[in-house]
Amino acid sequence: MNKDSISDFYSIVENNIGIALDDSKNYLLESRLLPLSKKLGYQNINDFINYLCRTSIGDAHKQAFEALTTNETMFFRDKHVFDALKNSILPKIIQSCSKDKTIRIWCSAVSTGQEAYSIAMILREFFPELSSWNIFIQATDISPNILAKAKSGIYSQSEINRGLDPYFLQKYFTKSDKDSYQINSSIREMISFLPHNLVDIWPFYPKFELVMLRNVLIYFSQETKNKVLNRTHKHLSSEGVLILGAAESIYLNPLFKLTQLDKISYYSAS
């Protein structure tokens, strides 16, 4: 593969979706872009990358960007996080919002939706006092195709087996066919799934009491991380909580205050 073309393509990727790639990630081109290049009729991956570098952003670029996006997720991923939400973070948020009886939650880079549905099930199961409250769960991702799957709420047996307790499966899911289940409409209706590119222009968002920005910043350069975090800060309520992935942290940013809580950490506005 032509190094100059690859370097140019990596710049296009970072400028458009934030993912920072280098030569150590060249294997991704073979594993993720080669099948797409064949599907689109290119003789080899070099021809495909050259085309992407020569032309304005279009459908082929968007398909390439989507192919390079990691969509790893599961129900109740990192159990310690959801234990902390249930036992400490959400009770404090509920207390701080008791006057307005409104809670706004944003799950960013939500992939196929398991994180958002996990939070919705926690709210429904453990906080029945919220039945008369206004609960807004906004779930966003860069990929329209992934969001369509998330919105359907239909998951295969293998996806169900990853992290979902049998109790929640029995109570909140219905058998869709012999190999899949669909989460009940009462849970699906709690969530709005919307497309959002974190490095593009942001639409108008309200202030959120909880922002889940997990396992996405690790793919960004430090400059892009700072831009995304500074934007996120503007949409975090005064009592709001920001939760990052286990391998992610915020360094030397005076806008955020770190709080250690048992086996996890989270951030709030300074």
DSSP annotation string for 34-93: HHHHHHTT-SSHHHHHHHHHHS-S-HHHHHHHHHHS-----TT-SHHHHHHIIIIIHHHH
pLDDT tens, residue order, the chain (270 aa)? 677 789 999 999 999 999 999 988 889 888 999 999 999 999 899 999 999 999 999 999 999 999 999 888 999 999 999 999 999 999 999 999 999 999 999 999 999 999 999 999 999 999 999 999 999 999 999 999 999 999 999 999 999 999 999 999 999 999 988 889 999 999 999 999 999 999 999 999 999 999 999 999 999 999 999 999 999 999 999 999 999 999 999 988 999 999 999 889 999 998
Question: Buried b vs exposed e over 56-66: b needs ≥16 C-beta within 10 Å?
Answer: eeeebbbbbbb
| C-beta separation of 65 from 33 below 8 A | no
First to last CA, the chain: 47
What pLDDT score was predicted for residue 2? 72
Q: Which two tokens stand for residue 237?
A: 């309520």
Residues recorded for the chain: 270
What pLDDT score was predicted for residue 30? 87
Residues paired with 131 in a beta bridge: none
CATH code for the part of the protein at 3-68: 1.10.155.10
Cβ-proximal residues to 55 (8 Å cutoff; 6+ apart), any chain? 61
Q: Which fold has domain 79-269?
A: Rossmann fold (3.40.50)
Q: Which two tokens stand for residue 24?
A: 């150590």
What pLDDT score was predicted for residue 35? 93
| C-beta separation of 227 from 199 below 8 A | yes
Domain 3-68 and domain 79-269 have a common topology: no
What pLDDT score was predicted for residue 70? 87
What pLDDT score was predicted for residue 1? 61
Q: Where are the domains of the chain?
A: 3-68, 79-269
Q: Are strands 134-141 and 191-195 parallel, antiparallel or unpaired?
A: parallel
* Inter-CA distances, 224 with 4, 85, 143, 208, Å: 23, 28, 19, 21
What pLDDT score was predicted for residue 163? 95
* Inter-CA distances, 258 with 95, 206, 248, 250, 269, Å: 21, 23, 12, 8, 9
SS3 146: helix
As a whole number of angstroms, the distance between CA 199 and CA 197 comes to 6
Residues paired with 106 in a beta bridge: 138, 211
Distance, C-alpha 26 to centroid of its chain: 24
